[in-house]
Amino acid sequence: MADKLTAKAEQTRAGIVDAALRLFRSEGYDAATMRAIADEAGVSLGSTYYYFSGKEELIQAFYDQLQVDHGAAAETAFDRAAFADRLRGVMESFVDVAEPFHDFGGQFFRNAADPRSPLSPFSAESAPAREASTALFRRAVEGSDLKVAPALSQELPELLWLLHMGVVLFWVHDDSEGQRRTRTLIAGLVPLVDRSVRLTRLPLVRGLVDDGIGLVRSLRG
């Protein structure tokens, strides 16, 4: 498919994604077939397969759009200098934009949790959304009032993204109204992260940090 879609093609593609999300929420991920998605979107099955090779690619489109919305919602966080304010803004804005999809999130999580699945946030297929999300945490670090060793500064955005994935897992299982418990978790977690990262400048801690960074890099291979 051409990289540049016409306005009508973009509208058709977006309509298919919206239809898929409606069916995933109402019927479940496994029960929603590509034919049912095409019928829901009001397009032919051939058109649906023209834009998406299967349900996994539809979920990837959802990931990508969610990340675009997250990036826009997080933008105001970067107006502040304090690292803690930026980090909290990035994490809370995800909860804001993802809230309408909370019920749906629980339905496909068992597929996303499979490390072999293309729906996994660690998969090659999820790389664009993962990199866009990591970029938000990079912006939270760069230009903030946080001063850390260059080696840690380089690794910190990815470590923060991994922390974010843990919060997302908590969010998936959070049945409180408006995911209030997740918001409470973020409010309490951010100051702990902020203080812990700042402590890495102390000579007593620096050696442990270097060892930790070395371990992360060796695991990355």
**pLDDT of the residue at 49:** 94
What's the mean pLDDT in 115-131?
87
Nearest to 165 by CA among 104, 120, 195: 120
Domain 1-52 has CATH 1.10.10.60: yes
What's the mean pLDDT in 56-83?
92
**pLDDT of the residue at 4:** 56
Question: Does residue 115 carry a pLDDT above 90?
Answer: no
CATH number given to 59-220: 1.10.357.10
- Confidence tier at 45 by pLDDT (50, 70, 90): very high
pLDDT tens digit sequence for 138-155: 999 999 999 988 888 899
Question: Does residue 30 carry a pLDDT above 90?
Answer: no
Residues 158-190 as b or e (16 or more Cβ within 10 Å = b) = bbbbebbeebbeebbebeeeebeebbebbeebb
Residue with tokens 């309509």: 15
Question: Does residue 132 carry a pLDDT above 50?
Answer: yes
**pLDDT of the residue at 1:** 47
- Domain limits, the chain: 1-52, 59-220
